[in-house]
Chains A and B, each alone.
Chain A
Amino acid sequence: MSPPVVSVSRLSKHFDSVIAVDDVSFEVAAHSTTALLGGNGAGKTTTLSMLLGLLLPTSGSISVFGVDMLRERYRALPRLNFSSPYVDLPRRLTVRENLTVYARLYGIIDISARIRALSEELQIGRFLNRPYGQLSAGEKTRVVLAKALLNEPELMLLDEPTASLDPDTADYVRGMLEAYRRRTGTTILLASHNMSEVERLCDDVVMLRAGKLVDRGTPAQLLTRYGRQNMEEVFIDIARQRHLELAPSGKPAAKP
Chain B
Amino acid sequence: MSELARGHTGFVPSLRRINALVYRHVYLLRSSGPRILELVYWPTVQMILWGFITVFLIGHSSWIAQASGVLLSGVLLWDVLFRGQLGVSLVFMEEMWSRNLGHLFVSPLRPFELGCALIVMSLIRTLIGVGGAALIAIPLFHYSIFNMGLPLLAFFLNLIIMGWSIGLLVSGIVLRYGLGAESMAWIAIFAVQPISGVYYPISTLPTWLQYLAALLPSSHVFEGMRAVLFDHSFRVDLLLHAVLLNALYLTAGFVSFLTFFRIARVRGQLLHVGE
Q: How far is the CA of A110 from the CA of B6 in the complex (A)?
A: 10
Q: A84-B102, A87-B99, A101-B21 are in contact. Are A49 and B2 (CB under 8 A)?
A: no
Q: How far is the CA of A102 from the CA of B20 in the complex (A)?
A: 7
CB nearest to A131 among chain B residues: B31
Q: A86-B271, A107-B6 are in contact. Are A54 and B102 (CB under 8 A)?
A: yes
Q: By the criterion CB–CB under 8 Å, are A107 and B265 in contact?
A: no
Q: How far is the CA of A187 from the CA of B50 in the complex (A)?
A: 63
Q: By the criterion CB–CB under 8 Å, are A108 and B98 in contact?
A: no
Q: How far is the CA of A110 from the CA of B7 in the complex (A)?
A: 14
Query: Which residues of B in the span 203-249 have a Cβ within 8 Å of any Cβ on A?
Result: none
Report, as a range, how many residues of chain B touch the other chain. 35 or more
Q: By the criterion CB–CB under 8 Å, are B2 and A152 in contact?
A: yes
Binds B, one of A3-11, A89-97, A199-207, A230-238: A89-97
Q: By the criterion CB–CB under 8 Å, are B24 and A78 in contact?
A: no
Q: A49-B268, A55-B268, A107-B16 are in contact. Are A100 and B107 (CB under 8 A)?
A: no
Partner of A74, one of B31, B104, B108, B265: B108
Judge whether B186 is part of the interface by a CB distance below 8 angstroms: no
CB nearest to B20 among chain A residues: A104
Judge whether B106 is part of the interface by a CB distance below 8 angstroms: yes
Q: How far is the CA of A243 from the CA of B225 in the complex (A)?
A: 77
Q: By the criterion CB–CB under 8 Å, are A105 and B108 in contact?
A: yes
Judge whether A32 is part of the interface by a CB distance below 8 angstroms: no
Q: How far is the CA of A90 from the CA of B31 in the complex (A)?
A: 13
Which residues of A have CB within 8 Å of B1? Answer: 78-79
Partner of B100, one of A49, A79, A90, A153: A90
Judge whether A176 is part of the interface by a CB distance below 8 angstroms: no
Judge whether A77 is part of the interface by a CB distance below 8 angstroms: yes
Judge whether A88 is part of the interface by a CB distance below 8 angstroms: yes
With both chains docked as a complex, state the minimum distance between the C-beta of B20 and any C-beta of chain A, in angstroms: 3
Q: By the criterion CB–CB under 8 Å, are B265 and A53 in contact?
A: yes
Q: How far is the CA of A49 from the CA of B103 in the complex (A)?
A: 11
Which residues of A have CB within 8 Å of B94? Answer: 90
Q: By the criterion CB–CB under 8 Å, are B8 and A78 in contact?
A: yes
Q: How far is the CA of A77 from the CA of B94 in the complex (A)?
A: 23
Query: Which residues of A in the span 39-80 have a Cβ within 8 Å of any Cβ on B?
Result: 45-46, 49, 52-56, 74, 77-80
Which residues of B have CB within 8 Å of A154? Answer: 2
With both chains docked as a complex, state the minimum distance between the C-beta of A141 and any C-beta of chain B, in angstroms: 14
Judge whether B187 is part of the interface by a CB distance below 8 angstroms: no
Q: By the criterion CB–CB under 8 Å, are B32 and A92 in contact?
A: yes
Residue from B4, B99, B268 having most chain A Cβ neighbours under 10 A: B4
With both chains docked as a complex, state the minimum distance between the C-beta of A66 and any C-beta of chain B, in angstroms: 14
CB nearest to A150 among chain B residues: B4
- Which residues does B use to contact A, with CB under 8 Å? 1-2, 4-9, 13, 16-17, 19-21, 23-24, 27-28, 31-32, 94, 98-110, 262, 265-268, 270-272, 274
Known: A86-B99, A91-B98. 18 other contacts (CB 8 A): A15-B268, A46-B268, A52-B106, A54-B270, A56-B262, A78-B8, A87-B101, A89-B98, A89-B100, A90-B98, A93-B28, A101-B21, A101-B23, A107-B8, A107-B13, A107-B17, A108-B4, A153-B2
